[in-house]
Amino acid sequence: MKSRSGRTATAAPASGRDAQPFMTTLNEFSRCVAQYDPHALPVSAAQAIVRQWAAPVTAVERVALRDALGRVLAADIVSPIDVPSHDNSAMDGYAFIGAALATSESAVDLTIAGKALAGHPFAGHIDTTQCVRVMTGACMPADCDTVVPQELVELSADSTSIRFAAGALRAGANRRLAGEDLARGHAALRAGRIMRASDLGLLASLGIGEVNVRRRLRVAFFSTGDELRSLGEPLDPGSVYDSNRYTLFAMLRRLNMDTLDLGVVRDEPAALEAALRSAAASADVVLTSGGVSVGEADFTKQLLQTFGDVAFWSLAMRPGRPLAFGRVWSGEHPGLGLPALFFGLPGNPVAVMVTFYQIVREALLLMSGATPQALPVLRAASRQTIRKRAGRTEYQRGVAERDAHGQWHVTPTGSQSSGVLSSMSEANCFIVLGHDEADIAEGEHVDIMLFDGLI
Ligand code: AMP
Ligand code: MG
């Protein structure tokens, strides 16, 4: 059976699109990862497990160059031409034969034999006593290999010759070589690249107007909780508006995912089961928030164990301790119907964002066929002491700024509670406190991960 998106139904957990190379179930696989401890799983171990299960989609689409922005390149782009196609001048000036520099120790005198503009080459030939007036981008005239910038020359009164100091430049100066930007036959861009503005321009410079990209990853998500209200509904006592679906939607959009919002699902086994199965039927990945912490964990656990292969982890991480990860199927039992990778994120709004960026993001990129780049981390001096317990990775919210000497400083935002979403809005970075780090003194350096580029 083939779904609309080209996913393959699986008869057993180890076959099909997301077949794993080593093990049958996630549980078996997880236990073989170094540092595996479901009760205090280090972030790096969780990332390593998730990475192994993130099989890329294979379907390819051909899109017009402008539609390729943010998409994942499906194959290497080999340059069909040299860019630039000819040697050309890097300056406004005069092109000549470099050997002319050796004819005099003081000044070089050359007569002007003609002119070349960008798009209007000089067709003739010259000797070492001559030069050609050239503008930036003009093809280098035959035999010429050097350009003297016009600022360095003295033009004769009748504008027929130039003079400049012989020591002012070396042979070969101010010439751009054919193929210097992109050489014909070489890979200009590699498969797995997430296309940026410069890449669109680069492909245009090669004359390429369409490219093959991987199909977009389809990600379904829903929130769980009887206390949640959707926008537009009245807020009765004890209820809260569902914010996670909005942060998840926005984070997914920034990663160029195809999103499917399945709304709020009540804390009822039958409703949850129906939502999970329909999500698996129509998406590659299913994200939920809430219901994986201690109070409700057993309930969700039981449900997922009947038709999923899901591990419930307690990550050595703050915020974001409870996380469920595995696979679910659209059928009635594990392995029946269409598979989807599953992330059961915590309910607290900050924990949702932190686990998304630190655990889910890379998996989504890998499944999209992208080659994820390590996120840049800066060192910054903390403006205040930070309490931190060794044995877990903390992602505190901070405001980073650079002083007049180029030194980065960071101040933690007020509340670090995982329910305080305003701390994310106020912050411009995560302060990343490593697994083994303990309290940080004022002035001590810490790692920071800027939201720009991430969020
Ligand atoms: P849970 O993990 O389901 O126990 O939820 C933990 C906390 O996060 C509770 O205070 C929930 O009310 C809150 N929460 C759960 N889901 C959402 C949501 N979608 N939007 C806002 N808050 C939520
Ligand atoms: Mg809940």
Pick the range with the lowest mean pLDDT from 37-46, 166-175, 421-430: 37-46
Ligand 1 pocket check for 346: Cβ under 6 Å: yes
**Arithmetic mean of pLDDT over the chain:** 91
Atom of ligand 1 nearest to the CA of 292: 2
Which ligand 1 atom lies nearest to the CA of residue 242?
Answer: 20
Pocket test for ligand 1, best of 221, 222, 224, 228 (most atoms within 8 A of CB): 228
Report, as an integer, the average pLDDT of 401-416: 95
Rounded Cα distance, 16 and 421, in Å: 39
What pLDDT sits at residue 9?
A: 52
Per-residue pLDDT at 297 = 55
**Cα–Cα separations (whole angstroms), residue 298 to 26, 254, 269, 293, 346:** 19, 33, 11, 9, 14
Query: What pLDDT does 1 receive?
Result: 42
Choose the residue to mutate in 244, 312, 313, 348 for probing ligand 1, maximizing ligand atoms within 8 Å of C-beta: 348
Res 18: pLDDT = 41
Residue 13 above 80 pLDDT?
Answer: no
Q: Say if ligand 1 is within 6 A of residue 227 CB.
A: yes
Say what the pTM is.
Answer: 0.88
Residue 418 Cα to ligand 2 midpoint, Å, equals: 14
* Measured CA distances, 146 to 86, 128, 288 (Å): 14, 11, 64
pLDDT digits (tens, 9 = 90+) for 318-365: 998 899 999 999 998 888 999 999 999 999 999 999 999 999 999 999
Instruction: Indicate the pLDDT class of residue 3, thresholds 50, 70 and 90.
Output: very low
Q: Which atom of ligand 1 is nearest to the CA of 291?
A: 3
Q: How confident is the model at residue 11 (pLDDT cuts 50, 70, 90)?
A: very low
Residue from 452, 454, 434 nearest 444 by CA? 434
Count of C-beta atoms within a 10 Å radius of residue 9: 19
Closest-approaching ligand to the CA atom of 264 = 1
Per-residue pLDDT tens over the stretch 75-102: 999 999 999 999 999 999 999 999 999 9
Q: In the chain, what are the domains? A: 26-59+215-367 (3.40.980.10), 61-83+180-214 (3.90.105.10), 88-168 (2.170.190.11), 378-450 (2.40.340.10)
Nearest CA to 293 among 352, 363, 353? 352
Pocket lining: 242 vs ligand 1, CB cutoff 6 Å: yes
Q: Is the CB of 289 under 6 A from ligand 1?
A: yes
pLDDT given for residue 7 in this prediction: 62
Tell which atom from ligand 1 comes closest to the C-alpha of 322. 2
183-212, pLDDT tens digit by residue?
Answer: 999 999 999 999 999 999 999 999 999 999
For residues 369-394, give the mean pLDDT: 95
> Which atom of ligand 1 is closest in space to residue 245's alpha carbon?
19
**122-128-133 Cα angle (round to 5):** 35
Structure confidence at residue 298 (pLDDT): 63
For residue 230, report the distance from its CA to the centre of ligand 2, in Å.
Answer: 15
* pLDDT on residue 2: 41
